[in-house]
Amino acid sequence: MTKLLKDFQPNEQLDIPVLIKSADIRDAKDGSKYIALVFTDTSGEITAKLWHAGERALQDFTTGTVVQLSGKREVYQDRPQIRINHMRVLPESEQKPADYTPKAPESIADLQAFVKQTISEIQQPVWRGIVQYIFGAHWHDFFTFPAAKTNHHAYEGGLAFHTVSMVRLAQRIAPLYEAVNEDLLLSGTLLHDMGKTRELTGPVATQYRPEGNLIGHVVMIDEEIVQACDQLKLDSHSEAVTLLRHMVLSHHGELEYGAPVRPQIIEAELLHQIDQMDASLTMITMALADTRPGEYSERVFGLDNRRFYHHKPIA
* Rounded Cα distance, 260 and 18, in Å: 43
The residue (of 91 and 313) whose beta carbon lies closer to its own copies is 313
The residue (of 50 and 66) whose beta carbon lies closer to its own copies is 50
CB of 28 to its own copies, least distance (A): 4
DSSP-derived letter for residue 265 is S
DSSP-derived letter for residue 290 is T
CB of 186 to its own copies, least distance (A): 13
Using an 8 Å Cβ cutoff, are 184 and 248 in contact?
A: no
CB of 3 to its own copies, least distance (A): 23
CB of 223 to its own copies, least distance (A): 5
Quote the strand ranges of 42-128, DSSP E.
44-50, 66-76, 79-89
Contacts for 22 with CB less than 8 Å, ≥ 6 apart: 36, 37, 38, 63, 205
CB-CB neighbours of 53 under 10 Å = 21
The residue (of 98 and 289) whose beta carbon lies closer to its own copies is 289
CB of 107 to its own copies, least distance (A): 18
- 35 CB-side CA count, 13 A: 23
Using an 8 Å Cβ cutoff, are 131 and 191 in contact?
A: yes
C-alpha distances out from residue 314 to 80, 201, 292, 293, Å: 28, 44, 15, 11
The residue (of 96 and 307) whose beta carbon lies closer to its own copies is 307
* Rounded Cα distance, 282 and 288, in Å: 10
The residue (of 165 and 206) whose beta carbon lies closer to its own copies is 165
The residue (of 94 and 258) whose beta carbon lies closer to its own copies is 258
CB of 91 to its own copies, least distance (A): 29
